[in-house]
RNA sequence: CGGGGCGUAGCGCAGUCUGGUAGCGCGUCUGCCUUGGGCGCAGAAGGUCGUCGGUUCGAAUCCGGCCGCCCCGACCA
């Protein structure tokens, strides 16, 4: 993408409504614009990040055996009357009426709808297990939206639902998602720690929140230090196998949010192993048995012809929240520092002198060659002074900056700067291609 | 939902107390200059002062209603 043509409204100053760093940076870097309290429009650069996060979530869900569907944002009130949650959910649910005066709602979650889809489509134990996910916008009419996209009213969420014949199967489904979540967040460059959680209004008796550590996190968290650096990506995962061992590795070490905190157990750890910090919840998984399947009659025929109520679990990742969460976890004074996997572009070419034919030609050549290799590259070909370009590039946080100026070029070199470490290298352009190809 | 605050140019703000017809910085546009970290000079455009009503010869300014947004708390994925 050529920056001179890109819709990328960056700002030098911070709009006064933004208080936390991720919100400030998202506005300044031209990722989003607020349109109402807790509701945001995603601009091109922000949308690329959002799509990258979706992509990783999707790959990991598929890899763990979940299947993608897409359910609507608007649901019928009758559906929610069936589970008994229409009245229970309260004012956080946005209720609307259509032209025929039918009661509808903007979905805050999809347990009811998925249960009906499952119930109508699956009649035999032979079709189990099933795990269905979708990535869709949700609306929860928060009393007080805040922190930018991290607590918006409209937000993009991956939610999925598992259906098993018995509790053992349901626990296996739960464990699969547990491991898939560890991988998902690790791939985004995050250290997400699973913590024993309160099941809240969704209900159930087994639940973990996945929390990333950040100073500005909403909740206080306490855990064993060993959890921070545990690595999942280097392991080969067989989702068909018993995953309980891996789950136990993570759950045997102490980790809890403040509402589940057991000060005694925590203080029993050696002081050097205790970590008390703040965190942002980016995922939440639940096993809830027959809480929905029973009232909504989601049953299948068992081997002996008997009717068996299915065992369910639900699993959520706050996709749009992650954009803010990643920034909270990865930024510096100059701006955002995107982890490569989610970065809107991997490489940025900074043309220091656009009206110099040689410099422009070298930039264009690099741009075309990198593009041909499938590298996402942003070309700052704007007619601006270098200072502003550097500032913008640091602000939007592209991992690699290839800086091309007349001086270096005369010596046959361009400069490659790493956004995260600040290290710079002078290389001939061909080597740049080799590096990022 | 309790408490507090704010709404004036794209962004940040002054002006409101004490009523007299709107200003600063940044950004934007034009020209010149400059070109390795938001450079300089000159010129220009851009605002029904959130909205409705009231008081007044006259309202950004005073009074009232409404709307919107933010912060703290409670609540919450």
CATH 3.40.50.720 fits A347-436, yes or no: no
The CATH fold assigned to A3-336 is BirA Bifunctional Protein; domain 2 (3.30.930)
CATH 3.30.930.10-classified regions of chain A: 3-336
Q: How far apart are CA A73 and CA A286, in angstroms?
A: 22
Whether the pLDDT of residue A414 is over 90: the answer is: yes
The predicted model gives A14-42 an average pLDDT of 93
CATH 3.40.50.800 domain span(s) along chain A: 347-436
Torsion of CA A324, A329, A331, A336, to 10 degrees: -30
Q: Is the CB of A297 under 7 A from strand B?
A: no
With a pLDDT cut of 90, the percent of chain A lying above it is: 87
Give per-residue pLDDT as tens, A214-248. 887 888 899 999 999 999 999 999 999 999 999 99
Residue A199 confidence (pLDDT): 65
pLDDT in tens, A50-92: 999 999 999 999 999 999 999 999 999 999 998 888 988 888 9
* Residues 150-189 of chain A in contact with strand B via CB under 7 angstroms: 151-153, 155, 157
Q: With bands split at pLDDT 50, 70 and 90, how would you rate the model's confidence at A262?
A: confident
For residue A39, what pLDDT is reported?
95
Is beta strand A307-309 parallel, antiparallel or unpaired with respect to A299-301? antiparallel
Q: What HEC string does A221-259 produce?
A: EEEEHHHCCCCCCCCCCCCCCCCHHHHHHHHCCCEEEHH
Q: Residues A122-128: what's their mean pLDDT?
A: 96
| Nearest by Cα to A94 from A54, A134, A152 | A152
Q: What burial class does residue A239 get, using C-beta atoms within 10 Å of its C-beta: 0-12 exposed, 13-18 middle, 19+ buried?
A: middle
The pLDDT tens digits of the residues spanning A318-339 come to: 999 999 999 999 999 999 999 9
Rounded percentage of chain A residues whose pLDDT exceeds 70? 98
A411 CB less than 7 Å from any atom of strand B: no
Mean pLDDT of A129-144: 95
Does at least one atom of strand B sit less than 7 Å from the CB of A352?
yes
Band of pLDDT at residue A260, cut at 50, 70 and 90:
confident
In three-state secondary structure terms, A82 is: helix
Distance CA A382, CA A389 (A): 8
Q: Chain B: nucleotides under 7 Å from a protein CB?
A: 1-2, 10-13, 25-27, 34-39, 68-77
Residues A187-203 pLDDT 10s: 999 999 999 887 665 55
Other CB atoms within 10 A of residue A92 CB: 13
ipTM score assigned to the predicted complex: 0.94
What's the Å distance between residue A19 CA and nucleotide B15 C1'? Answer: 26
User: Does the C-beta of A10 come within 7 A of strand B?
Assistant: yes
Q: What is the pLDDT of residue A219?
A: 83
Binning pLDDT at 50, 70 and 90, where does residue A257 land? confident
Q: Strand B: which residues 247-286 of A lie within 7 A (CB)? A: 281, 284
Angstrom distance (rounded) from CA A89 to CA A111:
13
**Would you state the pLDDT for residue A204?**
60
């Amino acid at each position: 993408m050529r920056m001179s043509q890109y819709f990328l409204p960056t700002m030098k100053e911070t709009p006064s409504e933004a208080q936390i760093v991720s919100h400030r940076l998202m506005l300044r870097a031209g990722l989003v614009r607020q349109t109402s309290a807790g509701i945001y429009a995603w601009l091109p650069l922000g949308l690329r990040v959002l799509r990258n996060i979706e992509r990783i979530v999707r790959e990991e869900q598929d890899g763990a055996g979940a299947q993608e569907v897409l359910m609507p944002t608007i649901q019928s009130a009758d559906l929610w009357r069936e589970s008994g949650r229409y009245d229970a959910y309260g004012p956080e649910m946005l209720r609307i009426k259509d032209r025929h005066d039918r009661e509808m709602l903007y979905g805050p979650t999809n347990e009811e709808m998925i249960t009906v889809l499952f119930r109508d489509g699956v009649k035999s134990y032979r079709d189990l297990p099933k795990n269905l996910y979708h990535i869709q916008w949700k609306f929860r009419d928060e009393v007080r939206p805040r922190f930018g996209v991290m607590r918006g009213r409209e937000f993009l969420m991956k939610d999925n639902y598992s259906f098993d014949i018995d509790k053992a199967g349901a626990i296996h489904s739960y464990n699969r998602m547990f491991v898939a979540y560890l991988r998902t967040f690790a791939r985004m460059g995050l250290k997400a720690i699973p913590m024993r959680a309160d099941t809240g209004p969704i209900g159930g008796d087994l639940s973990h929140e996945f929390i990333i550590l950040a100073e500005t996190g909403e909740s206080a968290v306490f855990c064993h230090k060993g959890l921070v650096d545990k690595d999942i990506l280097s392991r080969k995962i067989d989702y068909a196998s018993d995953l309980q061992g891996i789950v136990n590795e993570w759950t045997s070490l102490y980790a809890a949010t403040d509402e589940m905190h057991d000060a005694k157990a925590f203080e029993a750890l050696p002081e050097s192993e205790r970590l008390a910090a703040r965190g942002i919840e980016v995922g939440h998984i639940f096993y809830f048995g027959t809480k929905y399947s029973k009232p909504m009659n989601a049953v299948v025929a068992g081997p002996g012809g008997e009717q068996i109520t299915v065992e369910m679990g639900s699993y959520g990742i706050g996709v749009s929240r992650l954009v803010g969460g990643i920034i909270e976890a990865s930024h510096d004074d100059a701006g955002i520092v995107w982890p490569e996997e989610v970065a809107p572009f991997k490489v940025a070419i900074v043309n220091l002198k656009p009206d110099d034919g040689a410099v422009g030609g070298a930039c264009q050549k690099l741009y075309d060659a990198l593009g041909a290799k499938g590298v996402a590259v942003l070309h700052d070909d704007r007619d601006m002074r270098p200072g502003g370009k550097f500032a913008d590039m640091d602000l939007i946080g592209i991992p690699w900056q290839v800086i091309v100026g007349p001086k270096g070029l005369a010596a046959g070199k361009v400069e490659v700067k790493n956004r995260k470490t600040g290290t710079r290298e002078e290389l001939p352009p061909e080597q740049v291609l080799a590096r990022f190809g």
